Amino acid sequence: MPYENIKFIILLYHKIGIPPEGAKFPGLFVKEEEFDRQIKYLKRKGYVFLTLSELKEVYDAHYNYSHNYNSDSKAELRNCLVSGFGRVNGPAFKKKRYAAITFDDGSRSVYSKGLKIMKENGIKATIFMVSGLTGGFNDWDIKNGEGGDEMLSLDELKEMMENGMEIGAHTITHPHLTQIPFDAAFNEINGSKKALEEMLGCRINFFAYPYGDYDEKIKSCVEKAGFTGACITETGVVKKGSDFFTLKRVAIRHNTDFFKFKRKIFKVKHFY
C-alpha cells in the first residue's frame, strides 16, 4: 500500500455565529450556514473527520506502525483501531482523505451554535479550552478592547465529549507564551492540562499555542507536560515527517466564503 501521499487537513475555527456590531476581531466568527456548508462539502469529497487523537492513531497506522511494527503488532492495531472513522484497513483508511476540525479558545458558541451542526453531520471536532476561564468570559480579548464572549461551562464540555468531541488545552489564561517568564509559561501549559484532566476525568492529549506564539523552549514545555502534540496557526497540512508539536492548520474566518474555502482546501492539498 502506498503511504507517501497521505495528508491530513486540520481546520482552525474560533467562534460560530455572526460578529456583533463593533467587534474588534470579526474574523474569528464563521456563520452557522457557512460552517454547515463547509462540512457538507468535505463530506461530499469523501473526507473522514477525526479528532486529533484519532488523527495521530491513523497517522501512526499509515506511517510509523506500518513500517516499524512486526506483523503481529500491525494485525493487533488493525483489529483494535475501530472508532467513528472505521477500521484502518477498511474503505475509509484507503481513501486517504482526512480532516480534523479544531476550535481555539472555548467560546460557548461552539456548543450553542456549532454542536447541533456537527451532530447532524455526524462529525467530531477538537476544542481547545482556556481552562482557567471555564464558565467565564474571554478576559484576554476584553483586555484588548473586544466585547465579552461567554466561554464553555464544565457541563457543556462534558456534553460535547459525550457527543464524541475531544477537549484539548489552550493554557490557563491565554497569554503570549514567549512574552512571559519561562516558569510561568510552563505553569500555563502544564497547569491547563492538569486542570482539564481533573475537571473532565480524561486524558488531555493535545495543546494549541495561544496566538500561535511559540519557540523551541515553549515547544519543549509542551512535550515535557506530556502532551501528544500541539497546533500552531501557520498554514499547511500534516504529512509524512510532520512534527506533531507544530501541527499546521488552515484558518477559516468570517470572510472565508464558499469559493475561498474550496480554494484553500485545494491549495493546501496540492501545494503543501
* 144-164 mean pLDDT: 96
Q: How confident is the model at residue 63 (pLDDT cuts 50, 70, 90)?
A: confident
* 23-30 mean pLDDT: 95
Phi, psi of 113 (to 5 degrees): -125, -25
Q: What is the pLDDT of residue 118?
A: 98
How is residue 123 written as a grid cell?
462529525
Question: How far apart are the C-alpha atoms of 55 and 15, rounded to whole Å?
Answer: 23
Among the four given CATH numbers 3.40.50.450, 3.50.50.60, 3.40.50.620, 3.20.20.370, the one describing domain 7-271 = 3.20.20.370
Q: What is the pLDDT of residue 95?
A: 58
Q: How confident is the model at residue 16 (pLDDT cuts 50, 70, 90)?
A: very high
Question: How far apart are the C-alpha atoms of 243 and 230, rounded to whole Å?
Answer: 9
Q: What is the pLDDT of residue 75?
A: 46
Enter the pTM of the model.
Answer: 0.90
Site of grid cell 482546501: 265
Q: How confident is the model at residue 4 (pLDDT cuts 50, 70, 90)?
A: low
- How many C-beta atoms lie closer than 10 Å to residue 60's C-beta? 16
Question: For 11-15, 57-61, 194-198, which range has the lowest pLDDT when averaged over its residues?
Answer: 57-61
Question: How far apart are the C-alpha atoms of 71 and 112, rounded to whole Å?
Answer: 46
Can you give the residue ranges of every domain in the chain? 7-271
Question: For 11-15, 86-90, 100-104, 105-109, which range has the lowest pLDDT when averaged over its residues?
Answer: 86-90
Question: For residues 69-84, b (16+ Cβ closer than 10 Å) or e, as one string?
Answer: eeeeebeebbeebebe
Question: How far apart are the C-alpha atoms of 187 and 27, rounded to whole Å?
Answer: 30
pLDDT, the chain, mean: 90
* The amino acid at 244: F
**pLDDT per position as a tens digit, 198-249:** 999 999 999 999 999 999 999 999 999 999 999 999 999 999 999 999 999 9
